[in-house]
Structure 1
């Protein structure tokens, strides 16, 4: 067995450090504070005799408008409702400016409760958005109070009396409401130490742009409510258009993170999710792993059966991969016939390797394509946090290195080893030095005798040795691995054969006829013309074929 080698040091990226307890407790704190604020406001309103919501035609018109908005959000939802900025926000702001923050908070709470009831499995997210909205309403009410305006149901702030001097107040209250809700959602939804995922970030930024439209619609709602409340339901049309704009923006953002063929997440999603998983693993003191899987000889399927057949085969592979995933694991398609599996929590490198072998076995079982049974083998590479990398990009690259090693050696699954990675800066420098040493003849051959039990020397084995001018003696397994993975192996093989045969010719001239064994790479043996090249060298040095033995390297 080859000796193991610890992973090369990896530079730790700078990240925002957030206490795990703070992050996990923040959503609960937001909901708790919002509930306390709303309950306190209700108690004060009831104790002072203020109404909680306007009656008459105005109240009914607002109720109808609220019902239309809620119905649209339920129909549009599809797990994409983000609350806050949209039709519900415009309605909430209008009620806030007219009747104060308690009725506005009740409107927001009504929207959240009704939509959350329709989307039962999303009620936690809806509750969080509703709490952020109520706190945003409270912040905007404080702005109004600073300007001396505290509207109530009995004494509403009449929009017909607004003047130019009131425009900055209305604009500032709306801006504070929007900013407060966005910041709260940003910090409660973002993973520890990382920003929001692309989909969430795009949705929030789009909502900020739509907020400009709210500044124009909200005062109009106030004016109509004060003068012609019967026309309030007509505002459902522009408000629903706002929600549709947000829904389309979010849907497009989701499409950018999905593979259009298989529906699996793509590379961008994988990197973002891996970042979040690494942060969680670091906070919990556990390992995380990334498995890269590539189908062997998939190109022959496309070439033989066509790309449409290849696409149908990929759909079967993706579905089989979904079914084979262990609990908590997530799969993505990186492109072509390459897939990735993220293990957010791995007990050990061995357990991650065991999962990879299970996935490879599942994907390698027979597949049926239009009555034709196909067997596609797969190769997988495993990289583990924190042993092999401390960031998502590094973990992906090292899993890729291990996967190609498994594909070359036909071992099925390989775990990343730094000594077999020729892409690190240090090993790239060593590769350049090895190339120059071969050109300058600085690589030496030592000859180890093979002795029979009777004491007679039966032959010699040529051993490659390299003394680096700065590093000193470089272990053979290290620079040979670099040569094998970089394409330099044929040059090294030619150098060893040429040097060994020249030495054998000199010994034979001195009357010493001892065969010499030379190690060669399996890649060299499969190279067309290799046998002819060896025969030509034997003839050039005048050495018979029986004086040379070719051996495959031990690790194959």
Structure 2
């Protein structure tokens, strides 16, 4: 989809007005040149010096043209010292018409060698003629009007003539560069890094012109046969400027893909935001990150990864909407600037289209790869009013898309842990953990025979000012801020302390605690859990850890080692939210779990949706074939209970059984169901840590 221009009339007027300048430059230059040629020929004058000096200037011009063609670069950005120096020398000695002929020869011949750039050559030639005319007017204002018939010979130059030479060079440079910048720069463009570097280069060109042009005049007047030797310093000047240009571009380009880098992107984003502010329009950044790209590097090597990035960059270029620009931030992160968007929805639509294109199969050395990507969208002025802020918020949205596996997400302040409000909540959560103000509630898992299979510890936080904070909100803050290990430590410590008290009171019900992928990837996590069990005197079988498939995504080997260590200590593992991830069957074989929990999204419509019912039936059959128990989450009505029982599910969890309760209410609920010591023999064996296995 291409961003439209609705709501931006000023932008349309700017785009309509901009092309009139090149046409005007060409028209004025052609008219002036034609008039000058007619007047000179009508008065019997010569257009160009004849004899040795004329042929020597022609040879020097040819050498310069050959070098510029060999460079293969545009004259404005590539450096034009040689042509400009020769043009200025001809202007000082013979006037504007011979200088114009030399300039036209350089521009037309170079443009002819690059046939696909003839429009650019025409514009450059016209602008050069206008610059020469302006410089000639500056000389005329000082009383100097040279011509082929009456040259301004260097023998007559005096010290007071030097300001005229400086003025002519300055006028020529100022007019040509100003006209070219205005003609070629994008609408509303500010001075980017490349442009600022180019302007510095043009100042150096001016100094070179002052040094070389008068010397060319002197040699042309006294030793014209030596004029072709000036090709050496002039070509050296062009080469130096070309190298400087390449180095300046390298600083703003990604060396692997050739895309703009972070600095260039920020320059262009600032320019786009300035334009959007003037027009009252929106602009957007789309940050794209490849999922599981690290596994390509680890499996196929970094060279294969580089080739893959090249293919991704080419796809991104081809898929860009009109006016959009792509850049590579580093690694597998890319960003797209949308200078104009209609709305947040249209920006997200562009992001989804880009994700779809990047997700098509790729061929790498005969191997077909399918890479998924996640994108975050931030829009000006809705989310930020500066380039850096927009990029930060796009990054937050991208990580949200990666966590939710939704493809593309638009930034939402309520999900950003870096906003002042969220940072304040993070500080409050940290203090609440230190003060023990975060509570655990316990929700039962019950078998169809009525026995309690276990309890799940669920964290609850009542903020002194905000009231009850939703768990999804503060858990997301903990995960994004690095506080998650501290929260998990708190929950484990509190839950194990409660299990120890229940066991002392004769209640032998195992408790499940949710752990995040970050916890599993923390070095020494298995040993720390074993140490806490020993300190509280709780057998490992009384603790169950609930994990998701995502523990295997970032570092599969470390996750596998940690999970093996936990099961080696006797801790039971449960796979939570089954069916909401991807490649579930593959991951299920790699996870040492004894229980599988069917996500509530499949259970909620079980009684009315045959497709969900079939998914649950297949899941139960699969789990049982692997020797796993099956627990259904979110059971809220009798019909769903009965359907799950008929499908062979082992246990259920949900409001139909009981909501999550504080420890005191949980204790009373367990005793009311006869789950004390006298009933323990029905659900557990009396010996060792194996005595705490759930029975369904």
In structure 2, relative to structure 1, the CA distance for the partners of 1:21 and 1:343 (3 Å cut) is: closer
User: What does residue 176 of structure 1 align with?
Assistant: 171
In structure 2, relative to structure 1, the CA distance for the partners of 1:460 and 1:273 (3 Å cut) is: closer
Residue 372 of structure 1 deviates from its aligned partner by 4.2
Distance in 2 of aligned mates of 1:237 and 1:544: 87
Counterparts of residues 403-482 of structure 1 (less than 5 Å)? 403-443=398-438, 464-468=460-464, 477-482=472-477
In structure 2, relative to structure 1, the CA distance for the partners of 1:447 and 1:297 (3 Å cut) is: closer
Residue 218 of structure 1 deviates from its aligned partner by 0.9
Query: 1:31·1:132 contact (CA, 8 Å) conserved in 2?
Result: no
Distance in 1 of aligned mates of 2:57 and 2:341: 53
1:95-144 CA deviation, whole Å, 9 max, x = no partner? 21122234433433443333333334334444443344333323322332
Between 317-326 and 163-172, the greater mean CA deviation after superposition: 317-326
In structure 2, relative to structure 1, the CA distance for the partners of 1:521 and 1:79 (3 Å cut) is: farther
User: What does residue 487 of structure 1 align with?
Assistant: 482
Between 429-438 and 371-380, the greater mean CA deviation after superposition: 371-380
User: What does residue 3 of structure 1 align with?
Assistant: none
Q: 2:20 aligns with which of 24, 28, 31?
A: 28
Counterparts of residues 363-402 of structure 1 (less than 5 Å)? 363-402=358-397
Distance in 2 of aligned mates of 1:460 and 1:309: 45
User: What does residue 294 of structure 1 align with?
Assistant: 289
User: What does residue 136 of structure 1 align with?
Assistant: 131
Aligned partner of residue 338 in structure 2, secondary structure? strand
Residue 375 of structure 1 deviates from its aligned partner by 4.1
Between 371-380 and 166-175, the greater mean CA deviation after superposition: 371-380
Counterparts of residues 112-151 of structure 1 (less than 5 Å)? 112-151=107-146
In structure 2, relative to structure 1, the CA distance for the partners of 1:164 and 1:27 (3 Å cut) is: farther
User: What does residue 638 of structure 2 align with?
Assistant: none
Query: 1:207·1:246 contact (CA, 8 Å) conserved in 2?
Result: no
Residue 497 of structure 1 deviates from its aligned partner by 6.3
Query: 1:73·1:81 contact (CA, 8 Å) conserved in 2?
Result: no
User: What does residue 47 of structure 2 align with?
Assistant: 53
Matched, 1:74 2:66: no
Distance in 2 of aligned mates of 1:447 and 1:318: 50
Matched, 1:39 2:35: no
Between 279-288 and 73-82, the greater mean CA deviation after superposition: 279-288
Aligned partner of residue 435 in structure 1, secondary structure? helix
Aligned partner of residue 147 in structure 2, secondary structure? coil
Distance in 2 of aligned mates of 1:79 and 1:68: 17
Counterparts of residues 147-226 of structure 1 (less than 5 Å)? 147-192=142-187, 194-226=189-221
Residue 435 of structure 1 deviates from its aligned partner by 0.7
From the CA coordinates, give the structure whose radius of gyration is larger. 2
Between 441-450 and 277-286, the greater mean CA deviation after superposition: 441-450
Distance in 2 of aligned mates of 1:84 and 1:137: 18
Between 370-379 and 531-540, the greater mean CA deviation after superposition: 531-540
Residue 235 of structure 1 deviates from its aligned partner by 2.5
Aligned partner of residue 144 in structure 2, secondary structure? coil
Distance in 2 of aligned mates of 1:379 and 1:345: 22
Over the aligned positions, Cα root-mean-square deviation in angstroms equals 4.5
Distance in 2 of aligned mates of 1:316 and 1:47: 59
Distance in 1 of aligned mates of 2:26 and 2:407: 54
Structure 2 spans left out of the alignment, 5+ residues: 1-9, 446-454, 547-573, 578-598, 602-696
Query: 1:31·1:127 contact (CA, 8 Å) conserved in 2?
Result: no
In structure 2, relative to structure 1, the CA distance for the partners of 1:156 and 1:342 (3 Å cut) is: same
Aligned partner of residue 426 in structure 2, secondary structure? helix
Distance in 1 of aligned mates of 2:81 and 2:531: 75
Distance in 2 of aligned mates of 1:29 and 1:314: 40
Distance in 2 of aligned mates of 1:379 and 1:484: 18
Distance in 2 of aligned mates of 1:425 and 1:330: 31
Distance in 1 of aligned mates of 2:305 and 2:383: 34
Query: 2:485·2:518 contact (CA, 8 Å) conserved in 1?
Result: yes
Counterparts of residues 346-361 of structure 1 (less than 5 Å)? 346-361=341-356
Residue 89 of structure 1 deviates from its aligned partner by 0.8
User: What does residue 13 of structure 1 align with?
Assistant: none
In structure 2, relative to structure 1, the CA distance for the partners of 1:533 and 1:229 (3 Å cut) is: same
Between 119-128 and 398-407, the greater mean CA deviation after superposition: 119-128
Residues paired across the two proteins, number:
531
In structure 2, relative to structure 1, the CA distance for the partners of 1:144 and 1:544 (3 Å cut) is: closer
Q: 1:265 aligns with which of 249, 260, 263?
A: 260
In structure 2, relative to structure 1, the CA distance for the partners of 1:92 and 1:236 (3 Å cut) is: same
In structure 2, relative to structure 1, the CA distance for the partners of 1:80 and 1:389 (3 Å cut) is: farther
Aligned partner of residue 385 in structure 2, secondary structure? coil
Q: TM-score, normalised by structure 2?
A: 0.64
1:199-257 CA deviation, whole Å, 9 max, x = no partner? 34323322321332221221122123223434433323322222222222222222333
